[in-house]
Chains A and B, each alone.
Chain A
Amino acid sequence: MSAEEAGGDADDTPSRAELAARVEELEESLAAIEDDGGKKMSIIATKGTLDMAYPPLILASTAAAFGYDVTVFHTFWGLDVLHEEHSKSLQMSSVGNPNTPVPNAIAALPGMDRLTTRMMEGRIEDNDTATIEELLETSLEMGVEFQACQMTIDLMDYDEDDFFDGVTTGVGAATAVQDMAEADIQLLI
């Protein structure tokens, strides 16, 4: 091959050197994309009843297994799930939930929430469903970041030490919005 051919024609055919440079450039930008390619999931967890504590934790641990970088921002009653004491005694009510076997008028009587909760706990145990504590621990092990909303910590009069080790405090809505903006999946539960 002559030097002229290797250098390309005078018209718009790119030279070998130009092509090599272009390939190198594209490989660099591809590497940059792949470096930044970690998938992200952002969940806002607002509920603190025994039944509603599950979906954020199940999705968070599963997404972590899929290799997602997961953040769960707990706010309002969702804080109780991260609260070391309260998370052991999450309650559930039949009031407002017509799918439970207890009619609303009866469910509103004193002590009925405890009965509904016990019923649910029994089912969880019979079905070998993971406990909230187990799901939290597993998720933490897998690198899920649990955040406790600072404004609601103050609102509920909780202390930063009330939460499980590994829970991030001192974060607010702006952190959550930034997280959601960067995430591939955003959920409000």
Chain B
Amino acid sequence: MLLPPNTILGDEVKTMTEYEITETLDVKGENCPMPVVKTKQAVDDLDGDEVLEVLATDPGSMSDLGGWADSTPGVELLEQEEGEDVFKHYVRVAE
């Protein structure tokens, strides 16, 4: 094949580098309502197009942060990842 290496992985590589994380918020060990409340506070400190990474251990954060992002203007939930112990959320602030 004449295709350059990485072609097949291209898409995957792209989704991982599509955004750069500006800040990371660690709310591991904290429970409802803190992951959402602290995410909101952290997002307020960011500028447009910046991305916040939220690391949580609260399983409820998957649904709560999704719901929060859905009904909050000016933020976009880019991705949620369910790791073994940590739930990762990526929130972009609108420009």
Contact = CB atoms under 8 A, between A and B. Distances in A.
A65 B39 contact: yes
Nearest to A138: B37
Interface in B61-85: 68, 71-73
B34 interface: yes
A141 interface: yes
B28 to A, nearest CB: 10
Interface string B33-48: 1101101110000000
Interface in B10-37: 29-34, 36-37
B83 to A, nearest CB: 19
A135 B34 CA distance: 9
Q: How large is the interface on B (under 10, 10 to 19, 20 to 34, 35 or more residues)?
A: 10 to 19
A58 B64 CA distance: 13
A149 B72 CA distance: 31
A62 B29 contact: no
Nearest to A124: B31
Contacts of A130: 30-31, 33-34
Contacts of B34: 130, 138
A91 to B, nearest CB: 22
Nearest to B28: A128
B41 A142 contact: yes
A128 B31 contact: yes
Contacts of A128: 29-31
A65 B73 contact: no
Nearest to A58: B33
A128 B68 CA distance: 22
B31 A127 contact: yes
A64 interface: yes
Contacts of B73: 67
Nearest to A67: B72
B41 A61 contact: no
Contact of B72 (A58, A61, A66, A135): A66
A138 B27 CA distance: 14
10 contacts: A58-B33, A65-B33, A65-B39, A65-B41, A65-B72, A67-B73, A128-B29, A128-B30, A130-B30, A130-B34
